[in-house]
Structure 1
Amino acid sequence: MQVHECVSFILLKDNQVLLEKRAQDKEYDPNLIAIPGGHMEHGETREQALFRELEEELDIVPTSYVYLCSLYHPTGELQLIHYYVITQWTGTIVSLEADEVAWHSLEANPLDIEADKVALAEYRRLSLSLIIL
């Protein structure tokens, strides 16, 4: 089975995380609440994909980010999602591809995708250890 690499971004502000409600017409995971992200293009590095997807999805440019982890997400295709934590950016967040984006508490969130739940739990685990500030 072919693996499709993706990047996802955990945007943080005031102990909240930005989540999206995926569009109904998306091929994979329509209508689900998820961490925003997208597919890497052929020949693209993870960092290039991160910058491109943040601009395409939310119209922002990250100024402070760190790689968190990579997790498999079996959906209609097998995805390998590379998660990044974004704590600072330039621009105003605008939902350009999702039905909507909204801020949610880090402790109580409505994620529907298991890999996203694991990634957010990993962020909370590491941030408590002061590994990620």
Structure 2
Amino acid sequence: MAMEIHECVAFMLVNNEQVLLEQRSLLKTIDPGAIAIPAGHIEAGETQGQALLRELEEELTIAPLHYYYLCSLYHPTQELELHHYYVITTWHGNIRAQEADEVMWHALTDAPVAGMADILAIQEYIRLKDTLTIKP
């Protein structure tokens, strides 16, 4: 029997060769306490773009000004998640952790993320950043 796939949007905020990471709440069912790229589930009837805007507001209290799609990767946990990674280069508002225990900036080349999908997404960003970056 096929496992149900739960689609998510993951948002890589990038600034001066650093990426914003979260330390997930110890109360979360999935990956409690892990250091990760922030992400959230896409709700029924939502597009990826709609979910991205909603999740950025809910989790970090910001609205993206410039963003682009990077890649999609499977993230197997207690459920099979498919993360659609978006890079956000500029945003409006002040970043505040609403759901994570903490958010922090880390160098892209030394980001201590726990999940292989996040590692691969950061590597993909580094590989393609000069090709894909949308300049304001």
TM-score higher than 0.5 here? yes
Q: Could you tell me which residue of structure 2 aligns to residue 65 of structure 1?
A: 67
Cross-structure match for 1:49:
51
Q: Supply the AA of the counterpart residue of 1:40.
A: I
How many pairs are equivalent?
131
- Give ranges in structure 1 of 5+ residues lacking alignment: none
- The structural deviation recorded for 1:109 is 1.2
Aligned-residue identity in percent: 58
Structure 2 unaligned segments of length 5 or more: list them.
none
- State the shift of 1:131 in Å: 1.2
RMSD of the TM alignment (CA)?
0.6
Give the distance between the partners of 2:93 and 2:122, measured in 1 at CA. 24
Q: Deviations over 1:7-40 (max 9, x none)?
A: 0000011111000000001010000000001000
Measured in 2, the distance between the counterparts of 1:74 and 1:15 equals 28
Residue aligned with 1:103, SS: strand
Q: 2:41 aligns with which of 39, 42, 45?
A: 39
**Aligned twin of 2:113:** 111
CA apart distance, 1:104: 0.4
TM-score by length of 2: 0.95
Corresponding residue of 1:101: 103
Q: Write the distance in 2 (CA, Å) between the matches of 1:117 and 1:61.
A: 25
- Structure 1 length-normalised TM: 0.97
Q: Structure 2: how far apart are the matches of 1:66 and 1:112?
A: 23
After TM superposition, where is structure 1 displaced by more than 6 Å over at least 4 residues in a row? none
- Secondary structure of the corresponding residue to residue 131 of structure 1: helix
The corresponding residue for 1:87 is 89
